[in-house]
Amino acid sequence: MPELPEVETVKNVLNKIVTNKTIKSIDVYRDLTIEGDKNEFVSSLTGETFLNVSRIGKYLIFHLTNDKVIISHLRMEGKYYEYQESERDSKYAKVVFHFIDKTKLCYDDSRAFGLMKLSTESEYQKEEMIKKLGPEPFDINDVSSIIKKVKKSNKPIKTTLLDQTLITGLGNIYVDETLYASKIHPLTPANKINKDEWESIINNAKEILSIAIEMGGSTIKSYHPGKDIDGNFQTRIKVYGRSGEICPTCGHTFRFIKVGGRGTTFCPLCQLKKGAPINIGLTGKIASGKSVALNIFKELGAATISSDEIVKDLYQKKEIASLIEKNLHLKFKGNVVDKEQLRNHLLINIKDKKKLEKLIHPLVEEEIKNFLSKEANPIRVVEVPLLFESKVDHYFDTIVVIDIDQKIQKERLKKRNPQSAIYLEEINKTNKIDENKNKATYLINNDNDLASFKKEIKSIFTEAKDRIS
């Protein structure tokens, strides 16, 4: 969706196109684009002349003669194209303004979410869509009123900044950029943002938006502001859409999550979440020390759950055993999954591992979701050996990866269970820890003694408590 800088760019271009042009006629090809009576819209504007175009937040305001005003919101894909009258309309033209100088302005909208509304100079700022808008970052010099408005809100700061009634003009791109510049995690509750942080948010938003306006906004993916209009701010974007790339500040890998349904990219180290809950995903290769770490977290007071235990419980269920039997062509005794039989089968039929994961991962994910949604403890730790493969990493604001020397790991595997060591080594080969460990908030090396390992876990737990308080 075009944001403040893109709309400002469109406004500036439109002023060059429409100023002093008189409307000869109007074609409306999609009635729903016009909010209100379509016929009144056409009859009231025919014969009027455009004086200038202004902007409020993401709304374009067309000012015409005789105090007529058009309020326009581009929504997802709205664009304005100028053509000669002899040329064909744009491909997705919804409204076309024909001018007496034999040019025309096409409002083009492939997604058909945009709108226009007829109003007047005395009334347009009283229209509900305009009246409810908060101030732009440029108009905020004191954050006290914002702090007062959000003091009871535990909504994530990203969701809060996208709320145009609090601050107008910030959308997905510029919120991600602003929070990264301010070193604030997108899931941090709004009421946990202190005065200094709010001032940082507003100041960074002003700077980022100013640069974006200067560069003509951003031309991102399918969004192109209009005919012959290109934004160049995408060349300056630091975090938005860069999941998997390296943070230039700390060297960690940017992570991707969804916040309020919106794709969100952040740095797991530069942007630590504050406020409850702190959801920690604990992962590492087999025999790296995950179970020991989970028990330490539990002893320290965290709520914990193990994916291995979830799977163990699932394997005791008759319906799960039947499901695996059917899909992997096996037969278990006693209506429960025989782990050794299953392990031996997978060693021979390696491709069946993917089939098993497709069956089990969604069930494990559901249990994790239930745990995180119902658990009252503010610090929750979930051990997930295949955290990245099962694509559940987005549930966690904090990820702890336990690393271990390969030689030490193999020795531990043999000591743990010599019979299953070969199978477990094969699983480790498919583990994606090495290629994803740079996404970790904390990377713990478990090559040393238990006391050192405990000290590191305790440090993480203490920091999590500090972030909550």
- Please report, for residues 89, 134, 223, 261, 271, the alpha-carbon distance to residue 76 in angstroms, rounded to integers and kept in the order given: 20, 21, 8, 16, 29
pTM more than 0.95: no
Record the tokens describing residue 144, joined without a space.
């006290």
* Alpha helix stretches (DSSP H) within 184-289: 195-214
| Res 103 pLDDT > 50 | yes
Q: Is 101 helix (H, G, I), strand (E, B) or coil?
A: coil
What count of other Cβ atoms lies within 10 Å of the Cβ of residue 28? Answer: 17
| Res 366 pLDDT > 80 | yes
Q: d(Cα 337, Cα 352) in Å, to the nearest integer?
A: 15
Instruction: Determine which one of 3, 77, 177, 456 is catalytic.
Output: 3
pLDDT band at 299 (very low <50, low <70, confident <90, very high): very high
Please name the residues in contact with 230: beta carbons below 8 A apart, sequence gap of 6 or more: 216, 219, 224
Q: d(Cα 90, Cα 80) in Å, to the nearest integer?
A: 9
Class of the CATH domain delimited by 278-468: alpha beta
CATH 3.40.50.300 domain range(s) in the chain = 278-468
pLDDT digits (tens, 9 = 90+) for 191-231: 999 999 999 999 999 999 999 888 766 554 434 445 555 55
Q: d(Cα 246, Cα 75) in Å, to the nearest integer?
A: 31
- Give yes or no: 30 in active site: no
Q: Is 31 helix (H, G, I), strand (E, B) or coil?
A: helix
- Of 102, 396, 446, 170, residue with least CA distance to 287: 446
> Average pLDDT in the 2-6 region?
84
Instruction: Determine which one of 24, 238, 262, 458 is catalytic.
Output: 262
449 DSSP 8-state letter? -
| Res 426 pLDDT > 90 | no
CATH 1.10.8.50 domain range(s) in the chain = 137-242
Write the DSSP assignment of 211-227 as a string of letters: HHHHTT-B--TT---BT
> Average pLDDT in the 268-290 region?
93
| Whole-number CA gyration radius for the chain | 28
Q: d(Cα 229, Cα 367) in Å, to the nearest integer?
A: 49
Q: With 0-12 CB in 10 A as exposed, 13-18 as middle and 19+ as buried, what is 349?
A: middle
State the fold for domain 4-131.
N-terminal domain of MutM-like DNA repair proteins (3.20.190)
pLDDT in the model for residue 318: 95
* 48-63 b/e (C-beta count within 10 Å ≥ 16 → b): bbbeebebbbbbbbbb
- Give yes or no: 2 in active site: yes
Please name the residues in contact with 175: beta carbons below 8 A apart, sequence gap of 6 or more: 158, 161, 162, 186
pLDDT band at 432 (very low <50, low <70, confident <90, very high): confident
pLDDT in the model for residue 425: 62
pLDDT in the model for residue 371: 97
pLDDT in the model for residue 221: 44
- Please report, for residues 254, 288, 304, 373, the alpha-carbon distance to residue 367 in angstroms, rounded to integers and kept in the order given: 27, 24, 12, 10
Q: Is 230 helix (H, G, I), strand (E, B) or coil?
A: coil
Record the tokens describing residue 425, joined without a space.
């080594």
Query: Identity (one letter) of the amino acid at 266?
Result: F
Write the DSSP assignment of 297-339 as a string of letters: HHHHT-EEEEHHHHHHHHTT-HHHHHHHHHHHT---STTS--H
Q: d(Cα 413, Cα 84) in Å, to the nearest integer?
A: 75
State the fold for domain 137-242.
Helicase, Ruva Protein; domain 3 (1.10.8)
- The beta strand positions in 242-286, using DSSP E, are 255-259, 262-266, 278-284
pLDDT in the model for residue 358: 93
* 234-272 b/e (C-beta count within 10 Å ≥ 16 → b): beebbbbbbbeeebeeeebbbbebebeebebbbbbbbbb
* Percentage of residues in the chain having pLDDT higher than 90: 77
**φ and ψ at 367, to 5 degrees?**
-65, -40
| Res 401 pLDDT > 90 | yes
Instruction: Determine which one of 11, 55, 58, 94 is catalytic.
Output: 58
What separation, in Å, do the N-terminal and C-terminal C-alpha atoms of the chain show? 36
pLDDT digits (tens, 9 = 90+) for 48-94: 999 999 999 999 999 999 999 999 999 988 999 999 999 999 999 99
- Give yes or no: 268 in active site: no
CATH 3.20.190.10 domain range(s) in the chain = 4-131
Distance of CA 21 to the CA centre of its chain: 42
Instruction: Determine which one of 2, 5, 225, 378 is catalytic.
Output: 2
| Res 420 pLDDT > 80 | no
**φ and ψ at 225, to 5 degrees?**
-55, -30
| Res 239 pLDDT > 70 | yes
Please name the residues in contact with 148: beta carbons below 8 A apart, sequence gap of 6 or more: none
